[in-house]
Chain A
Amino acid sequence: AQSVTQPDIHITVSEGASLELRCNYSYGATPYLFWYVQSPGQGLQLLLKYFSGDTLVQGIKGFEAEFKRSQSSFNLRKPSVHWSDAAEYFCAVVTNAGGTSYGKLTFGQGTILTVHP
């Protein structure tokens, strides 16, 4: 079964610093990968997604993520963090055609981002 690991439960950065949130997946076929963000008291907002093609994908709010098949990773990056980026970030994977479990997103445990002024 597919699984997603976010090794960092909590990350603290200073405003203006760069950010990288790690995500590793375990899945045999081509994964479809997503990053969602959840602000306090809010729902899940899609930041970006990877289906195929260019392995570096751009998302909203200045975020980008790079798919590395050799490392089974899909790390989220931002060159300069803003205080409003403080939230919880979730990596997720869905199986592709040929799999046995369509439609089901499997989430990582989330990374809480704290931004210091």
Chain B
Amino acid sequence: EPEVTQTPSHQVTQMGQEVILRCVPISNHLYFYWYRQILGQKVEFLVSFYNNEISEKSEIFDDQFSVERPDGSNFTLKIRSTKLEDSAMYFCASSEALAGWTGSSTDTQYFGPGTRLTVL
């Protein structure tokens, strides 16, 4: 069964450093998402991405964050200058259609295993 993959599984970085989290979505999916989960808190939406553009972003997704689909398979999240509060599990997800648009199974978002980011 196709799955979303993420690398690395764990990233440790110093405050102020740039990090790039990588994701390989399911191959026929067109919509891509990043979520994060700070330890002990809810999973929070960060950004959705389609056709090489951001569809929606949350308040969390400020100028320090950026997303890119550099080639036909990868989807990346970059944090330019990490802060202590960026420490979290970051999940990538993908779907065939935009969740909520068609009301069908193609809307379903499939999640990767996550990257645990630790900022020291």
Task: Assess whether A102 is in contact with B100, with CB atoms less than 8 Å apart.
Answer: yes
Q: Which A residue's beta carbon lies closest to that of B4? A: A43
A-B contact pairs, 24 of them (CB 8 A): A30-B103, A32-B99, A32-B100, A32-B103, A43-B4, A43-B6, A43-B111, A44-B91, A51-B103, A51-B104, A51-B105, A90-B43, A94-B99, A96-B103, A101-B100, A102-B48, A102-B98, A102-B101, A104-B58, A105-B33, A105-B93, A105-B99, A106-B45, A107-B42
Other A-B pairs beyond A32-B99, A95-B100, 17, CB < 8 Å: A32-B103, A42-B113, A43-B91, A51-B105, A96-B100, A97-B101, A99-B100, A101-B100, A102-B99, A102-B100, A103-B100, A105-B33, A105-B35, A105-B45, A105-B109, A106-B45, A109-B41
Chain A interface SS verdict (over half):
loop
Task: Assess whether B110 is in contact with A46, with CB atoms less than 8 Å apart.
Answer: yes
Task: Assess whether B55 is in contact with A102, with CB atoms less than 8 Å apart.
Answer: yes
Determine whether A52 belongs to the interface, using a CB cutoff of 8 Å to chain B: yes
Interface size class of B (residues with CB under 8 A): 20 to 34
Task: Assess whether A103 is in contact with B111, with CB atoms less than 8 Å apart.
Answer: no
